[in-house]
Amino acid sequence: MALSIAFPVDQAVETARELARSWERVALFLADNKDIAARGRYSAVKPCVRVSVTHEADPVAAMAEYARRAAAAGAEIEAEIRDTFSGVHARFGAAYVEFYAWTEQVVVSVPAVSPSLVGPLAALVAEGRAT
């Protein structure tokens, strides 16, 4: 007997519509910020465009500037801390722009405390949106 798992059609349709709306918001942000768009790579695995700031003279300042601009365009800013690469996600709904660098460039670790983004990046995430 074959096992069949049905995905609710209405949920599938709404998810597709939300992704379409989110990608439109990402497209508008990138169209208005061509310097960021020129550095981005589309991810086939995640619903995002990835932008590296690892080779910037000051990766924290570059990431903070890009995140502020994304927030000004309506994105919600979230931290993404991993072992190798870390940074922020600028969420335009389900789709997002990921600004990232080597973890040691943008994360501060204190013994017995969870790692967090440094200085201005932590403030942006705490706000969720830049003003």
Reply yes or no on whether the pLDDT at 129 is more than 70. Answer: no
In a domain, 53, yes or no: yes
DSSP H helical ranges for the chain: 9-32, 34-37, 59-72, 103-106, 119-127
pLDDT recorded at residue 7 = 59
Q: In what order do the strands lie in the sheet with 95-102?
A: 40-43, 48-52, 95-102, 85-92, 76-80
In a domain, 111, yes or no: yes
Return the ∠ at Cα 23 (arms to 91 and 106), rounded to 5°: 35
Quick: pLDDT tens for 74-120.
Answer: 999 999 999 999 999 999 998 999 999 999 999 887 776 677 777 77
Domain that holds residue 47: 10-127
Residue 92: how many other CB atoms lie within 10 Å? 24
Reply yes or no on whether the pLDDT at 61 is more than 70. Answer: yes
Residue at token pair 């590296």: 52
In a domain, 4, yes or no: no
Give the whole-number percent of the chain exceeding pLDDT 70.
Answer: 89
If one counts the domains in the chain, the total is: 1
In a domain, 5, yes or no: no
In a domain, 2, yes or no: no
Q: Poorest-confidence range of 39-43, 47-51, 89-93?
A: 39-43
In a domain, 98, yes or no: yes
pLDDT recorded at residue 115 = 72
Q: Poorest-confidence range of 21-30, 32-41, 87-96, 120-129?
A: 120-129
